[in-house]
Amino acid sequence: MATGHPNLHSFPNSDELATQLRSYVLRCQNSALSRHGTFRLAVSGGSLPTVLAKALLATSNGSPEDTPQFSKWHIFFADERAVPLNHEDSNYRLLNDELVSKIPTELGTPIIHAIDEKHIGDDDPQELADLYQEDLMREFAAKDSVKLPAFDLILLGCGPDGHTCSLFPGHALLREKDAWVAAETNSPKPPPKRITLTLPVVTHAISIAFVATGGGKKEILKQIFDLEEGSSLPSALVNQGAGDKVSWFTDHPAVDGVSFPRRGSL
Ligand SMILES: O=C(O)[C@H](O)[C@@H](O)[C@H](O)[C@H](O)COP(=O)(O)O
């Protein structure tokens, strides 16, 4: 059961958001490296890779704490579309174009866990999901059997309908209890075929951060944070399941009029 409330951080502009997101991600990195020598994270699509690149490709202050050690990173996808890796809808391609291809050589190269392209044409993306789950198992359950993988960090976006990963409002996938990775055949947002981490995997992560910016997010954030009514929107279920392990990185227009139980300090 989750303890505490999510932390809200709201910034006046994208530069400040990126600066604070950098510190947060590098704190997660440093603590993961001291625990087990690698940094295992999952990232989403949407605007997240661009914001993340702005944060991580900024000039370091030179201290070890402020230095991304990309050669120790394992990057997974919180969700992925069943399209070729060079397709314009691919989250792999987005992350590569925005961030990975721009990392200076001296900072090292992360290991990127992409979907298996051999199965992108399958009618049913279940095999794609199963293979991705096997990849997670090799990484998280190689030595011990574990019920759920413990990502060091999961970075999420929040759609205008409250979806996160490829977990959409009211969908049966929200009730998945056992699978780590699930297949979606009829996503309400194109493309229809996708794979996604499941809710138990997301809430089991050590740290979870949402990045949501712009006035277009205001109405859905009011619903997500409406504690009196309670919300069953996927992003709200992450808040409820993971409590104070969750941090929201927003800008002022996105939270205009939203009442948060807890404003975080960084
Ligand atoms: O697969 C998708 O449907 C999108 O990638 C989606 O999940 C996105 O992450 C959110 O809609 C937030 O998008 P923004 O960060 O661009 O607002």
pLDDT tens track for 33-86: 999 999 999 999 999 999 999 999 999 999 999 999 999 999 999 999 999 999
146 in any annotated domain:
yes
pLDDT of residue 227: 76
Give a yes or no: residue 195 inside a domain.
yes
Position 226 in a domain: yes
User: Is there a domain that residue 71 lies in?
Assistant: yes
CA–CA distances in Å: residue 83 to residues 91, 105, 114, 204, 251: 9, 29, 11, 28, 32
For atom 10 of ligand 1, the residue with the nearest CA is: 159
Averaged pLDDT, 184-200: 96
Compute the mean pLDDT over every residue in the chain, rounded to the nearest whole number.
Answer: 95
Range of the domain at 16: 7-255
Average pLDDT over residues 182-189: 95
Could you tell me if the CB of 189 is within 6 A of ligand 1? yes
Predicted local distance difference test score (pLDDT) of residue 146: 87
What is the position in ligand 1's atom list of the atom closest to the CA of 81? 1
**Residue of 223, 200, 63 lying closest to 136 (CA atoms):** 200
- pLDDT score for 213: 97
The pTM of this model reads 0.96
Rounded mean pLDDT, 148-171: 97
Q: Kindly report the protein residue whose alpha carbon is nearest to atom 6 of ligand 1.
A: 46
Given a cut of 80, whether residue 230 has pLDDT beyond it is: no
Using pLDDT thresholds of 50, 70 and 90, give the confidence band for residue 94.
Answer: very high
Q: Which mutation among 48, 80, 202 tests ligand 1's pocket best, with the greatest number of atoms within 8 A of CB?
A: 48
Q: Would the pLDDT of 265 be above 90?
A: no
> Domain containing 52 — which CATH number?
3.40.50.1360
Q: Which pLDDT band holds residue 266 (cuts at 50, 70, 90)?
A: low
Q: Does residue 107 lie in a domain region?
A: yes
Residue 104 pLDDT exceeds 80: yes
Q: Report the complex ipTM.
A: 0.96
46 Cβ inside 6 Å of ligand 1: yes
Evaluate whether residue 221 is within a structural domain: yes
pLDDT in tens, 242-262: 999 999 999 999 999 887 766
* Average pLDDT over every residue of 14-18: 97
What pLDDT does 261 receive? 65
Query: Does ligand 1 have an atom closer than 6 angstroms to the CB of 188?
Result: no
In a domain, 264, yes or no: no
- Structural domain includes residue 261: no
The confidence score (pLDDT) of residue 4 equals: 87
Residue 149: CB within 6 Å of ligand 1? no
Q: How many domains does the chain have?
A: 1
- Model confidence band, residue 1 (pLDDT cutoffs 50, 70, 90): low
